[in-house]
Structure 1
Amino acid sequence: MAGPGEFVVDDGTATAKGGMGLWWYSKEKFENATLSLEFKMDDPSYNSGVFVRFPEPGNDPWVAVKEGYEVQISGRGVDDVSTGAIYKLQAAVANPLKPDGEWNKMEIHTLRNEIAVVLNNQLVNVFKTEKGRGDKEGYFGIQNHDDGSPVQFRNITVTPQHPKARLRNLTPRSAETVYELKRNPETKKKKEWFDDADFGPAFIQTWGDFYNDEYRPDAALKGMLLRPDPKAHNLVALYNLETMQVVTATDRGVSLDNTPFGGNHGTQNKVMNLGNPMFNSETGPAWADADGSFEDSRETPGHGNFDHLEFKGYFRHGHRIVLDYTVNGQDLLESVKIGDDNDFVRVLDKSAVEKPELLKAAPSPVKIVEGELKALTEGGPAIYPETFEVTPKIATGDDPFLVDQIPLPPVLKDSPYKNKVRLTDFDFFSDGDRAALCTWDGDVWLLSGLKEFKTLTWKRFAAGLFEPLGLKIVDDVIHLNARDGIWQVIDLNGDDEADHFKVFNYDVVITDNFHEFSFGLETDSEGNFYFAKASPVKPGGRNFDKILKHNGTFLKLTPDGKELTVVATGLRAPGGIGVGPNGELTSGENEGTWQPCCKLNYFTKDERPVFLGTEQARHEVTKDFKEPLCYFPMDVDNSGGQQAWIPDFAKVGLQAGEMLHLSYGQSSVYRVLPQELESGQMQGGVVRLPITLSSSAQRVNFHPEGSMYICGMRGWQTNAASDAGIQRVRYNEGTPLNLPEAMSVKGDKLTLVFDSELDEELATDPESFSIKRWKYMRTPQYGSGQFSIDNPDLEAEANAQKQESKGHKQQDDVEVTAAELGEDGKTIILTIPTLKPAQQMKIDYDLETLDGDVVIGTIYSTIHKN
């Protein structure tokens, strides 16, 4: 028994009691094996689970949670926390749980790197393990979850299987079912919205497939799925854009298991070619180098570009896609088309193939043509002719900020594309009448009519990009930051639809991890581009998968797109970035391993490169951890967005040069109150602006006429009211904000400057202020609790190094002994005898203006030095 609680055994039935604990079989680790048992719940809300493939837990049941896999027993739902699910990783496809009080039969097969779950003789889950986590062997056990979950078990047996056994070899009754689901899972799964969605004739994601009947997770890390026939949705071919290889083709379509579609962690989207590929290529480059070698000579084998291959982008002509790349410096165009027998034919331009013997032979027909492909690179017919007119909802009232709602184009069943419109970033064209907006699903939309703002028009401009989370328009050319690289998306023939998808930089190296987001795209005054890459966390968010050189970094790209350099490391999930008027760089950050809570990172040109905290993503930066400008409690910001500085032309009630911080998680916009120390370190706080959004606050931009636009979507943790939205925010001229606009500390004095004149009686009363402070523990654990600064709990601090501490909450009360109002009527100087550095200070104030307006609010701040 590991952890608290027990199992009470009576007449061959074990009943869970207390917990959370783990009853495990300690005598033997199992590799290929089948675990069989029966369980019973008198109430489906009871909670338990069966753990497989975990390392020796000692007395810590959480080892099985974090380093093994839990087959969930709880509830009748079909999701990742209900019976039959691989807990929090992959939902079951069905839940044939018997009525309350009846015994259920469960078989769990752990074969090679796959786990199959059979519930009451029905296969409900086939899960591929993560690399390095329970992918070879481990212990088995069952869970006692809590006092209110007396789940019962009986007839628990383990049957070792042959070392070479695979799911399709299983006997007796589950074997054919398991193999059939693996071979053709779309017949077993409930149909989802994304199964009918139109992602365009070219759709870039990370893809797995099957090669020689074995699952191949990294068939194409940067993989372009081609659908040349819009009427044959399941007729697909897959290109690997790093190896320039036609990987496979099938008429059985794909399974979109991963984020942002199926939402699973630790798996990939799959081309369903098992048993029926039209062709299937072995892993490796399609073209030899100048010496005739097909070896993987890359810095990290399996990842990144080859020296002799350069992918330059592609052209779209209707639904026909023409790839543009070079081999050993020679330009080459390539396409696939549907042949006479409804198969795929690989088409190469004759004029570009000087040495066809360098092309690796593949089991696919190859046709050499002359001139055919060049004619398809000059702009082709539109495939998204529809436009959608919407009428914005104009806000009125007495609030300082008025938020005008812009309806989105139709989505899902009401859309001709059957897709979602989950907006992630946007920018304005130079005419001020149009904007380009990108979505998490890979679309780019045009929004026009912004000058008059009466009738607005949406039009789909492009589709199929790899989860773009950054967009910047430079010289009226749309630049996108997608997970696979930076793209220019260009309309060649003036029909408001992209024909040329041009690679601006393709040097970023990626893995197949679901969490490897690429955030933001901003420019500095010299034209350099900046964006940030998340670290590849393991499913569940704790610790990390394999980390490559660009994971967890802040990146700079020269204006010509040629040179990519790292300017900061140690990021986990920055969410959004900012570039200041003097080249200062900022980012949000999300709580997690080595990150005690969310925060606002800030560093200057002279400090680059800096290390921002996540040790696994430190790379070669040896500097000490760079403290942020400010830490945030979870209820202030549990997932950061973009930072922005107010431009000179903005009319939003704030001063030019002020800094904003957006919270995606709390759908809020914060005014930043920075203070620069003599060392150059920034400290300070934030106060929330009175802006109520219908979407998350993910990206912000300023329209030439002075208003502020904010967009966002719901994809991970956020309190957003809607799936997505874009709003225009206007300042209600003449309405006071009544907010702090500056903050500083020195010695025992804390100075606050408000943007309105204050009533002297309340402003000089120390009772008008309530201050608390605390610190966090930066540890290898996930997040941190709140710890006393004044009365340290050394035992709790030591335990925080070894186990998660988020439940620990100890704050210090801070006494204000005097308050003084400055001559301007806006500046308050608080005397705090015990003022000292604090990672977190919460400053509540309850004041009034001279006009009698109530001024109540909270500043959350960080003090590094006073």
Structure 2
Amino acid sequence: LAIAAAFSISAIGQANDVELTGRPYIDMNYGPYLSASIEAAPGNIAYKGIAIRLDDGPGGISKGSEFVVFETDTLRMAAAWSGDGFIDWRSIVYDGSHGTHPKLVGERLFTNPVAPGWARPGTDQFEDPRLRGLDNKPYGPLPRDWGQWRGLFLHNDRVILYYKIGGVRVFESPSLTKLLSGQKVVIRNINIAKRDTDLVLQVAHVAGSEPKLRTVDHQQIAVYDNKLTVGVVGGTEGTKLEPTAEGHLRLRIPRGEPVTLKLFSSRIKEGFMGMFGSMMIQNSKPENLVALVQSDRERRWPESMKTKPRRMGKPGAFVTEVITAPDKNPYRSWMRLGGFDFFEGGDRAAVCTWMGDVWLVDGINSKPQEFTWTRIATGMFQPLGLKIVEGKIFVTCRDQITQLVDTNDDGETDYYRAFNHDAQVTEHFHEFAMGLQTDAHGNFYYTKAARHAKTALVPQHGTLLRVSPDGKTTEIIASGFRAPNGVCVNPDGTFYVSDQEGHWTPKNEINLIEKGKFYGNLMGYHRGLTEADITSPMVWMHNDFDRSPAEQLWVNSDKWGGLGSQLINLSYGTGYVYVVMEEKV
């Protein structure tokens, strides 16, 4: 039964009179942005989408009415739209549905097709060079000499996108303004560093409608048949809008010194063109996004929550103590905990949630015990792995490994750095990226699930992946998994990976991994492999014993008594901890 209510607290971003629905995935305050695979239009999915709220108001992006979605593989502004629904919330992470992905809800202002958001540097070519999946669709990021996603910055509720085109630094931040009539206008504020060649930006596309160029109040604009109107101010001499007969609108930016420019988009009726031109003049002052990133800002999540420990079961050789999460919190964050790790000393941990958060937990060793939970990051794409390296927090998300950076030492993440963005993402609901571990050389490891009951499309489906210590390269270590639940890195350079039953995985299993081996899911991405190529698991497990094994761990503490130096299996399905009695013969 859905319920509606009003919620009022004093925290920043949580102002009064937020309408609640009783559905936690809609009522949660995600902050000003949310990462997901979002369908912008039929046949047009932003696989690594960053949806951004543009209008002011409390409650975060889910309570907004004006939005854009930027796609980080192609570096394109995939869509702008308005409406009270934001998205349809169809996804396993939201409403629990299978075989779905979210679609935008409302009226589209503009879209851009699945293709590079910028022409190949030094050319006018937009032909997509990316990996073609087995369905012949392009997946994964652009070549780095073409474009490279670097991450995003937050300044209060402003989102600043950071990427490079041909090695040239670009900062971009969407915003919103209004005409005197109240008509809303989407602004793309763009700062571009010095460049040695022309750059061409994809601005909008309307199939079958070539935009017409006009001048209003000495400002250049382009107008489509559906009244979509785009104007530009700023840039250097020669910056101009360029229409094509196929319905594309592009912006040419000549080579030269650093520039700032603004693109304005709205649906304008003929009698309001003068008002649109006046608005462009009034908003023509360039915005220095680098200075914005470096300026003072307020904390978004200033309130911490305290919880008490809870013990489970009867006293025995081992005591199970729960570090209780703040399920009731002022941000309405749905506390579905995923990966975690401890800082040096063990009194502080960092915990990610499937819904996109990272929280710090302090006081783990306090006496009497009391835990303090502080929210430090939001909006990420289903994070399910976390690792702390030399005090730095790295998070495994479906779209990338993200490094959380606090640029002003106020305790919150201001820069979501794309440490590694090589992930090949499709819209499939079961394509989880799980775990994050490191080896003695500083390499990172995580697993990526296949497509459940469907054949894999990209090489990374159903694999164990290794990322270099600098984040610049990704390598497939082993393949043939269905739904692997993280990775255990062994001292001898091998690995343990569990997998979940279904299809070509007849029962739950724990696999001892060797590089280059194939572990059984013939619905994975492969060519010519048969049952004869399958590497058998170390152990099969019946559902009655463990219906869903998670990650394996080596006990490297002397506080576990006789279990010291043993391999244990953590069960997602039962909540039990098992000893794995391995023996090499």
- Normalising by structure 2, we get a TM-score of 0.77
The worse-fitting range, judged by mean Cα deviation, of 252-261 and 333-342 is: 333-342
Q: Does residue 381 in structure 1 map to residue 298 in structure 2?
A: yes
CA 1:613–1:546: 2 relative to 1, 3 Å? closer
CA 1:288–1:396: 2 relative to 1, 3 Å? closer
The match for 1:423 among 337, 353, 356 is 337
The match for 1:638 among 524, 533, 547 is 547
Show CA shifts across 1:15-68 (max 9, x none): xxxxxxxxxxxxxxxxxxxxxxxxxxxxxxxxxxxxxxxxxxxxxxxxxxxxxx
The match for 2:186 among 344, 359, 365 is 344
Larger Rg: 1
Determine the structure 2 residue equivalent to 1:608. Answer: 515
Q: How far off its partner does 1:263 sit?
A: 1.6
Determine the structure 1 residue equivalent to 2:277. Answer: none
CA 1:667–1:395: 2 relative to 1, 3 Å? closer
Q: Is contact 1:581-1:645 (8 Å) kept? A: no
Determine the structure 2 residue equivalent to 1:222. Answer: 48
Q: Does residue 391 in structure 1 map to residue 224 in structure 2?
A: no
The match for 1:671 among 572, 575, 579 is 579
CA distance in 1, matches of 2:308, 2:339: 21
Determine the structure 1 residue equivalent to 2:491. Answer: 581
Q: How far off its partner does 1:295 sit?
A: 0.7
Q: Does residue 507 in structure 1 map to residue 338 in structure 2?
A: no
CA distance in 1, matches of 2:374, 2:167: 38
Q: Does residue 255 in structure 1 map to residue 88 in structure 2?
A: yes
Q: Does residue 304 in structure 1 map to residue 140 in structure 2?
A: yes
Q: How far off its partner does 1:196 sit?
A: 2.1
Q: Which amino acid in the other structure matches residue 582 of structure 1?
A: D
Q: Which amino acid in the other structure matches residue 350 of structure 2?
A: A
CA distance in 1, matches of 2:317, 2:519: 36
Q: Which amino acid in the other structure matches residue 79 of structure 2?
A: T
Show CA shifts across 1:600-655 (max 9, x none): 1112xxx31111100121526968211111100011111120100011x3401234
Q: Is contact 1:257-1:264 (8 Å) kept? A: yes
CA distance in 2, matches of 1:517, 1:364: 39
Q: Does residue 445 in structure 1 map to residue 277 in structure 2?
A: no
CA 1:355–1:269: 2 relative to 1, 3 Å? farther
CA distance in 1, matches of 2:57, 2:390: 34
- Secondary structure of the 1:653 match is helix
Q: How far off its partner does 1:361 sit?
A: 3.2
Stretches of structure 2 that go unaligned for 5 or more consecutive residues are 3-20, 205-228, 235-259, 261-285
CA 1:374–1:393: 2 relative to 1, 3 Å? same
Q: Is contact 1:346-1:367 (8 Å) kept? A: no
CA 1:209–1:566: 2 relative to 1, 3 Å? same
1:69-218 matches, within 5 Å, as: 192-210=23-41, 215-216=42-43, 218=44
1:396-411 matches, within 5 Å, as: 398-411=315-328
Determine the structure 2 residue equivalent to 1:595. Answer: 505
Q: Which amino acid in the other structure matches residue 242 of structure 1?
A: D
CA distance in 2, matches of 1:404, 1:266: 37
CA 1:630–1:198: 2 relative to 1, 3 Å? same
Q: How far off its partner does 1:394 sit?
A: 5.4
Matched residue count: 472
Q: Is contact 2:499-2:508 (8 Å) kept? A: yes
Determine the structure 1 residue equivalent to 2:70. Answer: 239
CA distance in 2, matches of 1:449, 1:582: 35
CA 1:350–1:548: 2 relative to 1, 3 Å? closer
Q: Is contact 1:278-1:343 (8 Å) kept? A: no
Q: Does residue 476 in structure 1 map to residue 391 in structure 2?
A: yes
Q: How far off its partner does 1:425 sit?
A: 1.1
1:743-762 matches, within 5 Å, as: none
CA 1:251–1:416: 2 relative to 1, 3 Å? farther
Show CA shifts across 1:661-707 (max 9, x none): 11101111100111112xxxxxxxxxxxxxxxxxxxxxxxxxxxxxx
The match for 1:372 among 269, 275, 288 is 288
Show CA shifts across 1:702-757 (max 9, x none): xxxxxxxxxxxxxxxxxxxxxxxxxxxxxxxxxxxxxxxxxxxxxxxxxxxxxxxx
Q: Is contact 1:598-1:638 (8 Å) kept? A: yes
- Normalising by structure 1, we get a TM-score of 0.52
Q: How far off its partner does 1:486 sit?
A: 0.8
CA distance in 1, matches of 2:65, 2:459: 36
- Secondary structure of the 2:203 match is coil
Q: Which amino acid in the other structure matches residue 299 of structure 1?
A: L
1:271-310 matches, within 5 Å, as: 271-273=104-106, 276-290=107-121, 291-300=123-132, 301-307=137-143, 308-310=146-148
Q: How far off its partner does 1:396 sit?
A: 9.2
Q: Does residue 321 in structure 1 map to residue 136 in structure 2?
A: no
Q: Is contact 1:332-1:352 (8 Å) kept? A: no
CA distance in 2, matches of 1:267, 1:509: 18
RMSD: 2.3
Q: How far off its partner does 1:359 sit?
A: 1.0
CA 1:367–1:527: 2 relative to 1, 3 Å? farther
CA 1:293–1:381: 2 relative to 1, 3 Å? same
Q: How far off its partner does 1:408 sit?
A: 1.3
CA 1:350–1:296: 2 relative to 1, 3 Å? closer
Higher RCO, 1 vs 2 (CA within 8 Å, ≥6 residues apart): 2
The worse-fitting range, judged by mean Cα deviation, of 358-367 and 586-595 is: 358-367
CA 1:396–1:668: 2 relative to 1, 3 Å? closer
Q: Is contact 2:459-2:525 (8 Å) kept? A: no
Detail structure 1 runs of 4+ shifted over 4 Å in the superposition: 352-357, 363-368, 394-397, 620-623
Q: Which amino acid in the other structure matches residue 306 of structure 1?
A: L
CA distance in 2, matches of 1:353, 1:552: 40
Identity of aligned residues (%): 32
Q: Is contact 1:332-1:353 (8 Å) kept? A: no
Q: Is contact 2:462-2:481 (8 Å) kept? A: yes
Q: Is contact 1:230-1:319 (8 Å) kept? A: no
Q: Is contact 2:338-2:353 (8 Å) kept? A: yes
Q: Which amino acid in the other structure matches residue 323 of structure 2?
A: I
Q: How far off its partner does 1:365 sit?
A: 5.2
Determine the structure 2 residue equivalent to 1:625. Answer: 534
Q: How far off its partner does 1:511 sit?
A: 0.9
CA 1:565–1:373: 2 relative to 1, 3 Å? same
CA 1:610–1:335: 2 relative to 1, 3 Å? same
- Secondary structure of the 2:103 match is strand
CA distance in 2, matches of 1:192, 1:397: 35
- Secondary structure of the 1:611 match is coil
Q: How far off its partner does 1:407 sit?
A: 2.2
Determine the structure 2 residue equivalent to 1:702. Answer: none
Q: How far off its partner does 1:281 sit?
A: 2.2
Q: How far off its partner does 1:432 sit?
A: 2.7
1:52-67 matches, within 5 Å, as: none
CA distance in 1, matches of 2:571, 2:140: 33
Q: How far off its partner does 1:371 sit?
A: 6.2
Q: Which amino acid in the other structure matches residue 562 of structure 1?
A: K
Q: Is contact 2:154-2:160 (8 Å) kept? A: yes
Q: Is contact 2:456-2:525 (8 Å) kept? A: no
CA 1:431–1:376: 2 relative to 1, 3 Å? farther
Q: Which amino acid in the other structure matches residue 170 of structure 2?
A: L
Q: Which amino acid in the other structure matches residue 518 of structure 2?
A: F
Q: How far off its partner does 1:554 sit?
A: 0.7
CA distance in 2, matches of 1:571, 1:532: 9
Show CA shifts across 1:84-129 (max 9, x none): xxxxxxxxxxxxxxxxxxxxxxxxxxxxxxxxxxxxxxxxxxxxxx
Q: Is contact 2:485-2:551 (8 Å) kept? A: yes
Show CA shifts across 1:102-157 (max 9, x none): xxxxxxxxxxxxxxxxxxxxxxxxxxxxxxxxxxxxxxxxxxxxxxxxxxxxxxxx
